[in-house]
Amino acid sequence: MAFKRSGSVLVKLHNCLLANLCFAITYADKIIEGGTGMISERMVGLVKGSSVIRAMFEEGKKLAAQYGAENVYDFSLGNPNVPAPKEVNEAIKAIVDEEESTFLHGYTSNPGYADVRGAVAENLNKRFGTHFTFENIIMTVGAAGGLNVIFKSLLNVGDEVIAFAPYFGEYRSYVANYDGKLVEVAPDEATFMPDMEAFEAAVTPKTKAVIVNNPNNPSGVVYSEATIKKIASIMDKKQKEYGTEIYLIADEPYRELVYDGVTVPFLTKYYDNTIVGYSFSKSLSLPGERIGYLVIPDEVVDAGMLQSAAGVATRILGFVNAPTLMQRAVARCLDAEVNVEAYDRNRRALYDGLTKLGFECIKPQGAFYLWVKAPDKDEKKLVETAKKYNILIVPGSSFACAGYVRIAYCVSYDTIMNALPKFALVAKELGIEG
């Protein structure tokens, strides 16, 4: 059964999000209009870039004030709407009661509690037939923190990182943080699998890493084992050709959110220089708790040195260590699961509803996003037309793949069902026929 928020909770959440976003937007505008002021030139560019989503959220505020938040169909945010498993709250309560306060709330070593790291390693070994120990695990401040830690540890100025479009837009910023260059590889738009010829051509002597986000945000596609093997084969070939190390970075916050019996390959099995980044944000519905981990296997070249570097990077980036209470909580909940059936119900309702109206969509195999082709590849027209009917969706150009839109279905089932008649009006206005 899909989780349903009360109207009051929805309104409060919506207003809170809008308040924070409008604060950022206000200062983005001041910077754009009034110059750099005191902030760095690099941040000026990043703030200006963030203003791309300004219109969407300002429109959201306007619509919510005019019609009420319950009448705004906001599919823009990838914020889990199913509750955390009961095991999480039970674990937190027990830990607070059972564990000594200065231990629980004190500093840990940079990589985190050894016993928590060991529990994560054992869980992965049980599930994927690996042979990790606690030394292979670095607890991180979510997957975003983990990616920044590993880029800090790996990248030199001018190093290239390849990402397969469409991809999570923050990759650009994460790579730029360490003076690297993000290189985009276009997909095969029939399947939204990577274009392998384009990928091979993109690998150069400057290539330091390749990011694989599986299941993919925003497309919902799961890269098959055959696809992963092909990626690994090309990378191994290029390592030998150039005499360099090229790292495969698996970004896996949606690993557990899959449908129809689909299996997500565990990438360390296919390529030695693989580093895995994981977050409990989606698998346990804990996005605000900022807890995840990195896996740095022994098979990685100079693994011990990289593990040490990641630990130091955690400290010098200012994280110090991952949140201690949440480290201990997730260690007790590694086999817990969120209500994936609720997301699946939403997935089927939205996909079936939109395809019946004539929209062209990629049927998601994982995550909680629907990737929709804009008529005539005019994403701006689709986004703006949807806004007329209080529907908020994200243009594909935000994910380096123009001509499409992303619809996040991590919302209540009622929101989807109430939005479908509005989507019908959008389809009619754009001349889409089912």
Looking at residue 83, its amino acid is P
Question: What percent of the chain is predicted at pLDDT more than 90?
Answer: 82
Domain boundary pick from 266, 300, 331: 331
- 45 and 32 within one domain: yes
Q: Does residue 2 belong to any structural domain of this protein?
A: no
pLDDT at 16 over 80: no
Instruction: Compute φ and ψ for 34, nearest 5 degrees.
Output: -110, 5
Q: Are 283 and 335 in contact (CB under 8 A)?
A: no
- 140 and 204 within one domain: yes
Digit-coded pLDDT (tens) for 364-391: 999 999 999 999 999 999 999 999 999 9
- 158 and 98 within one domain: yes
The H or E element spanning position 115 is: helix 114-128
pLDDT at 122 over 90: yes
Name which of 156, 178, 245, 255 is nearest 212 in CA terms: 255
Mean local confidence (pLDDT), 233-245: 98
- 316 and 260 within one domain: yes
- 124 and 35 within one domain: no
Q: Does residue 1 belong to any structural domain of this protein?
A: no
- 197 and 316 within one domain: yes
- 277 and 152 within one domain: yes
Instruction: Compute φ and ψ for 293, nearest 5 degrees.
Output: -155, 160
Lowest mean pLDDT among 7-16, 341-350, 358-367: 7-16
Output the pLDDT for position 56. 67
Output the pLDDT for position 241. 98
Output the pLDDT for position 393. 95
Of the pLDDT bands very low, low, confident and very high (cuts 50, 70, 90), residue 2 is: very low
CATH code, domain carrying 306? 3.40.640.10
Domain that holds residue 73: 7-83+339-430
Q: Is the torsion defined by CA of 341, 289, 394, 423 positive or negative?
A: positive
CATH code, domain carrying 416? 3.90.1150.10
Q: Are 405 and 384 in contact (CB under 8 A)?
A: no
The H or E element spanning position 310 is: helix 303-316
- 313 and 237 within one domain: yes
Cβ within 8 Å of residue 35, ≥6 positions away: none
Output the pLDDT for position 174. 96
Cα separations in angstroms, 232 against 127, 144, 180, 196, 381:
22, 24, 22, 11, 39
Q: Does residue 403 belong to any structural domain of this protein?
A: yes
- 99 and 21 within one domain: no
**Domains contained in the chain, number:** 2
